[in-house]
Amino acid sequence: MANNNNTVKILFFGDLVGRPGRFAVRDYLSGKLKVESGKFQTAESGKLKVESFSTIDCQPLIFNFQLSTFNFIIANVENASHGFGLTEKNYNDLSEYGIDCMTSGNHIWDKKEIFNYINGAEKLIRPFNYPEDTQGQGSRVFELHDGTKIGVINALGRVFMSPVDSQWTVVAEEIKRLKDITPIVIMDFHAEATAEKVCFAKFCSELCVSAFFGTHTHVQTADEQIINNMAYITDAGFCGAKDGVIGMDYKTSVNRFTTVVPERYDVADGNVVQINAVEVEIDKVSGHAVSIRRIFELADKNKKEEENER
């Protein structure tokens, strides 16, 4: 999936959960992440090719690439600060790691300081289908060094979610507006129900969206594909501690389920972190997706620390 001058290559990270998620992405982008095992599946030019790798019986691999491999990097950050919301410090740190655009979801408002900086946060996007007077921007157009423009829009689903404006109307108009600016339009659809994601994705593909990434459920789906020239995955998954409950601590999670007594979730910790991400390649002129690749990788923090001590 090597990109050329006629295409733009985009890397999208699923929901970053707390410090484990932030640091896993930091190390991944710096090339320091030691991969223990994983699988990926590639859908390229309409033909599905399955590949896998494992380092269980051999030396760990080092994921080694330069940031220039990707023209544009997006991450969903609504859970980046201790699992709920995004602090300004973490926003600045993620920017320094090399993330070009940050999408979000219903938890973006959980840290009240968001209202102090969101209007000036040029990389951050909140869901578009909040009321018109909501602070922040629900879409943005980014320009690369070569002049290529990329439109990014974030939206919330309404099935099993708090009520917001209908994405079927307000978002459709915004997609059309962005398409008048650039052929490349990316959608992060933050939603609970798979059926809603699939249906809305097909709807967006008819509006010539280039790539559609589902987020929110934190479980990476194995259905990456190209629909009507649009790269699609139901959920990109999450980045964070593997040994928890979708990134959160098991004990607090089980207490909430068994006692039904409200207890604040805590972010899971552990030696093994996971990276869930998706790569897509898009034609600069047509805005059509050329290929999509799902990424699932694990890393042992202890092994990384041992290497650093040698």
Torsion angle of alpha carbons 86, 80, 33, 223, nearest 10°? Answer: -120
Report in angstroms the alpha-carbon separations of 4 from 7, 53, 63, 284, 290: 6, 26, 21, 10, 11
What is the spatial distance between Cα 210 and Cα 250, in angstroms, rounded to a whole number?
37
Active-site annotation holder among 107, 190, 218, 288: 107
Coil/strand/helix, residue 51: strand
Q: How crowded is residue 46: how many other Cβ atoms within 10 Å of its Cβ?
A: 8
Is 107 one of the catalytic residues?
yes
Token representation of residue 187:
């959608």
Which residue type is seen at 39?
Answer: K
What is the spatial distance between Cα 203 and Cα 233, in angstroms, rounded to a whole number?
14
DSSP of 249-303, one letter per residue? -HHHHHHHHHH-------B---SEEEEEEEEEEEETTT--EEEEEEEEEEEEHHH
299, 265, 217: which is closest to 110 by C-alpha? 265
64, 126, 80: which is closest to 247 by C-alpha? 80
What is the spatial distance between Cα 174 and Cα 154, in angstroms, rounded to a whole number?
11
Task: Spell out the alpha helix ranges (H) of the chain.
Answer: 18-30, 88-97, 114-117, 167-179, 194-206, 250-259, 301-309
What is the spatial distance between Cα 40 and Cα 295, in angstroms, rounded to a whole number?
5
Q: Counting every residue, how long is the chain?
A: 310
Catalytic residues, by residue number, are: 107
